[in-house]
Structure 1
Amino acid sequence: MITCSEFSFIKYQGNGNDFILIDGSVYGQSLSRERIVQLCSRQYGVGADGLACVKGFKSSVLEMEFFNADGKRALMCGNALRCVAFHGFKSLEVLSSKITISLGGVSYDCFQEKEKIKVVLPLPKLKGEGVYTLGKREVPYIWVDTGVDHLVLHVEPHEVGMEEFKAFGKKVRHDKAFAPGGVNVNLAAFTSPNTIYMRTYEKGVEDETLACGSGAAAAVFAMQRAYKNSNKNYFVEFFSKEKLEFNLEKDSRNQVLAWFMLGEAQAVFHGTISL
């Protein structure tokens, strides 16, 4: 283990959600909140929505810590999981069909399907529901735990493009009704019985991001509750115009038994930075 101010990294993106990957066995002790913030800074660092510190590359069992751009630890990030899994499959010394990633006390099984990564997700948990004022009308929302807390507001397609979304997202994210942790805020339009268009304001980034995997899972959960249909495959389109797929395993009573997230991950560049 070394303590240093020089970091080797790989920049990844999943659906436009971008992350810094570093080797936790080398740099784990060198991380501080201030350094994470600087690494994620788009002006003074590499630039990213978050940072994944991973131990165990070259094996099929990985330990992952995830930090948002504000330097605070997060228990879940769906798009980062896919990026770490993709890099893990590339790094394996012994061929394996499955990689297991431990994050936030949960083990996620990941599989490679051609150029995509499939992640087995825990079933979402409903925390509450109600209505929230958006402009001049009240819209229904559900509050869902998909590893992190998400508020999904069911809106019309034209409302997803609202110009003041960043200000609205910041307001809802800090609303006392969702204290003390706050929520990620998602506008979701159900554009067909199995397709969703959404935007996300992420806490920890404190801004809109181009995509959010755990938010997409929450939006699919919201559609399931709203429509109660028998669909097993869902597609979520993000502000980045990219799509993420969800496959649901159901029983004969239409009860969901398992969730699978399927999407791409891409290495953007790698390098070394001195802080």
Structure 2
Amino acid sequence: MNSDQNTLRPHETKVSFLKMHGLGNDFVIIDSRGREAQITPALAKAIGDRHRGVGFDQLAEIRDSESADIDLDFWNSDGSRAGACGNATRCVGRLLIDETGKDAVTIRTERGVLQAVRAGDEVSVNMGHPILDWAEVPLAQNVDVEHLPLAGDPVAVGMGNPHAVFFVDDITSVDLPVQGKAVEYDPLFPERTNVEFAQVRSRDEIRMRVWERGAGITLACGSGACATLVAASLRGLTDKKARMEVDGGWLTLEWRDDGVWMTGPTSLVFSAEFDASFLEQI
């Protein structure tokens, strides 16, 4: 992954990047090892434009690390920062596993040092312990995180970014664009929030749809899937291990003593280069 062309210095003619996805949750990945971090809000927003840039749900920038195999920073398509991104962590974990030949690698994010592990053709990542303290989620006031004072009685869970998880009887009846956006900007969430709607099918199976802050509707959300399993377990609706169907496919989640583990497929779509003329417009 690492080469002298993977930098966004404007004097260079072309700049390399990768496009990957985990269950349709898609990412641009830029390797900035060996140099300073390159991504700015304006650059992330320009690359994230699906009409004039490349388009992504999140951008992941790989950087050198002093405490793990790599550091990893996340950006949303609106140019805002994302504190966690489980599917992008799995995708980059796959790249590192293939690059190093190891069965397990460590990735430092705002969540701390996470472990990604080869799981046959898939990748598992430990997304860390859920955050269940109202001030750390964060919420704007001291309320019961298992029963937020909002219509629909959601659960608040922090997984490096905030989540509001709603349980519904029929997920097809949810107006995700309207309801998701309204909850994202509710005053209860000072840093906005990701919003999940979940239909529990059995003790070990959940159907979930997601609205991500800064991105809108996505086909999958790794941290949101983790938050949903935690919320379902707290409510006594499921066990601590379940399969989850999202719009893009299936994940396996397990809330263990050492954190919430997520397992699923990853796909490398293509490698490409930005032209200098595109970068010069930013």
TM-score, normalization: structure 2? 0.84
Paired position in structure 1 for 2:18: 10
- Give, in angstroms, the shift of residue 233 of structure 1: 2.5
Choose the corresponding residue for 2:123, options 117, 122, 130: 117
Instruction: Give, in whole Å, the separation in 2 of the partners of 1:41 and 1:26.
Output: 27
Please tell me whether residue 270 in structure 1 is matched to residue 280 in structure 2: no
Gaps of 5+ in 2: 1-6, 135-144
User: Aligned residues: percent identity?
Assistant: 28
**What does residue 193 of structure 2 align with?**
183
1:158-237 matched pairs, under 5 angstroms:
158=170, 160-162=171-173, 164-178=175-189, 180-205=190-215, 207-227=216-236, 231-237=239-245
Q: Deviations over 1:213-269 (max 9, x none)?
A: 10111110111112276x3421111122x01101233xxxxxx45431111111011
1:47 pairs with 2:48: no
Give per-residue Cα distances to partners, 1:69-93, cap 9 Å, x unaligned.
Answer: 112221110011001101111222x
How many residues of Structure 1 are paired with residues of Structure 2 in the alignment? Answer: 254
Distance in 1, matches of 2:258 and 2:235, equals 18
Which structure shows the bigger proportion of residues in strand conformation?
A: 1
How is 1:25-104 mapped onto 2 (pairs within 5 angstroms)? Answer: 25=33, 28-56=36-64, 61-92=69-100, 95-104=101-110
Confirm or deny: 8 A CA contact 2:253 2:263 kept in the other structure. Answer: yes
Structure 1 residue 125, shift from structure 2 partner? 1.8
Q: Contact (CA 8 Å) 2:155, 2:164: kept in 1 or not?
A: yes
CA contact (8 A) 2:69 2:105 kept: yes
Q: Aligned residue for 1:136?
A: none
1:158-206 residue CA offsets vs partner (Å, 9 max, x unmatched): 2x2236310111111101122x20111111111111111111111111x
TM-score of the aligned structures, taking structure 1 as reference length: 0.86
Moved over 4 A (4+): 26-29
TM-superposition CA deviations, 1:74-126 (whole Å, max 9, x none)? 1110011001101111222xx32211000115000111111111112212122
Answer yes or no: is the 8 Å Cα contact 2:127–2:259 preserved in 1.
yes
- Taking only aligned residues, the RMSD between alpha carbons, in angstroms, comes to 2.1
Gaps of 5+ in 1: 134-138, 250-255
